[in-house]
Structure 1
Amino acid sequence: MFNGNFFHGLGYLGEGFRLIKQPGLRLFVIIPLMINLVLFVSMAYFMATAFSSLIETAMGWLPDWAWLQSLDWLFWLLYGAVILLMLAYGFVVVANLIGSPFYGYLAELTEKHLTGEEPTVEGGWAQIVRDIPRALWREVQKILYYLPRALGLFIIGLIPVINLAAAVLWFIFNSWMMALQYVDYPADNNRVSFPMLKKQLAQRRLSALGFGFPVALAAMVPVLNLLVVPAAVCGATAFWVRESRLPVKT
């Protein structure tokens, strides 16, 4: 159940950051990066505007006492962190939906680079357009896998005493989901179904968690999460080439 090497898995994200600097891969790193930047700024502006209005409304409910009216900074402090985490994770989900065709092609070029083939972008744009329906369907499958399990963890978090373990379980689950999310790109390129990918990663669970752990951490850091997505795609492709392409044990 817990095969693989957690510490070995940790190294794949660092390798991904090295891979995105390769000349043959840069174009398909820069384009989704620019899309993500526009998306992140738009989401940040929208959430900041909405949150500012929420603070003003909440302050209007308080009695007209000078010391209470001066506590608006406390609202920003208490709820700003929550909004920040929501923005970080929400950004990753939306960025993956929008950028999935680019990331699939980036994974293909990375796999060619790692296996000694010449990465070529000839016909790349046509391929990206053709892959949009399939890429979006894969993202939907991952969301459908995520939602019921996230709901189960949310319910666990409501149970006294047991909820003490909820934070740890959430982070382990998010690490697992990050591995599934990004290794799915090279798996899809190789026509491996999502159920089969889950079986393959389950046989290397510790390695998968080791890869997903730093990705989950980086996803919570604004600005860094702009760069971590393409790096995670490249790192996940390295993971796929070296570990996930092994046959599944029955």
Structure 2
Amino acid sequence: MLRGNFFRGLGYLGEGFHLIRQPGLRLFVVIPLVINTVLFGLLFYFMGGLFDNLIATAMSWLPDWPWLQALDWLFWILYGAVILLMLAFGFVIVANLIGSPFYGYLAELTEKHLTGQEVSPDDSWVTILKDTPRALWREVQKIVYYLPRAIGLLIIGLIPVVNLAAAVLWFVFNSWMMALQYVDYPADNHKVSFKALRRLLGRAQLSALGFGLPVALAAMVPVLNLVVVPAAVCGATAYWVRENGATRN
């Protein structure tokens, strides 16, 4: 049985966009924003031609059945959606690998803003540098969790007829991954393991999917995807502060 509140989860990203405008948090939004802008420009340059090739390759694998060929426009949309989701999460993965030390600290400052309590007594730049290896290792854990499941869904997407469900499955999976990706920052600040975080989010799957869905959609939109990352970190911290207590009751 699915638990949690999907519609409450939807509201956390909006709260995140409100939080990133707060004076004490802006610096740690500006730095990742500059990084993401450069990264997205490079990714857009290299992926522009690759997108057309991926679509053409996927379409060429379809059987030469008349009724399938008549529905080629539908498969183009479905494959396009799947590839866009893959590229969107790929951008998120690379952006978070580069900006993870800043995002952990942004989550810490956001939690302090929301609760009035210090998460860590040491909040210096030295601490950010010291925590960089641990932050990068957490990102590697997410990639290891993501890749085999993404490959499995990609294989499903290549099976005729069954692939009609691939786009829906990708949206659900990416929503779950976005929740894992960003709630991990406040969880890591509290020394909660990635495995324990998955169990925690699993106790309120609907809330997690509600939070992850708009993040996944925003990550697909050029320009918006540049600012959604810090907003998602702040929104995920609000999620952690409120939902963490709820899932323990």
TM-score, shorter chain, exceeding 0.5: yes
Equivalence for 2:35: 35
Change (3 A) 1:3 1:44: same
Change (3 A) 1:88 1:166: closer
Change (3 A) 1:24 1:146: same
* Alignment partners' CA distance in 2, 1:245 and 1:128: 27
Task: Report how many residues are paired.
Answer: 225
| Cα shift at 1:117 | 3.5
Answer with 13-22 or 159-168: which moved more.
159-168
Matches within 5 A, 1:1-250: 1-48=1-48, 87-117=87-117, 123-246=123-246
Check the 8 A contact 1:179/1:208 in 2, yes or no.
Answer: yes
* Alignment partners' CA distance in 1, 2:121 and 2:26: 11
Percent identical: 75
Check the 8 A contact 1:108/1:189 in 2, yes or no.
Answer: yes
Check the 8 A contact 1:113/1:119 in 2, yes or no.
Answer: no
Quick check: which has more Rg, 1 or 2? 1
Equivalence for 1:61: none
Give the secondary structure class of the aligned counterpart of 2:33.
Answer: helix
Counterpart of 1:89, as a letter, is F
Change (3 A) 1:81 1:238: closer
Give the secondary structure class of the aligned counterpart of 1:24.
Answer: helix
Change (3 A) 1:4 1:82: closer
* Alignment partners' CA distance in 2, 1:6 and 1:123: 34
Q: TM-score, normalised by structure 1?
A: 0.81
Moved segments of 4+, more than 4 Å: 78-87, 118-123, 245-249
* Alignment partners' CA distance in 1, 2:169 and 2:119: 39
Counterpart of 1:203, as a letter, is R
Please, which runs of 5 or more residues in structure 2 have no aligned partner? 54-76
| Cα shift at 1:148 | 1.1
Please, which runs of 5 or more residues in structure 1 have no aligned partner? 55-77
* Alignment partners' CA distance in 2, 1:213 and 1:22: 24
* Alignment partners' CA distance in 2, 1:145 and 1:83: 19
Counterpart of 1:193, as a letter, is S
Tell me the C-alpha RMSD between the 2 structures.
2.8
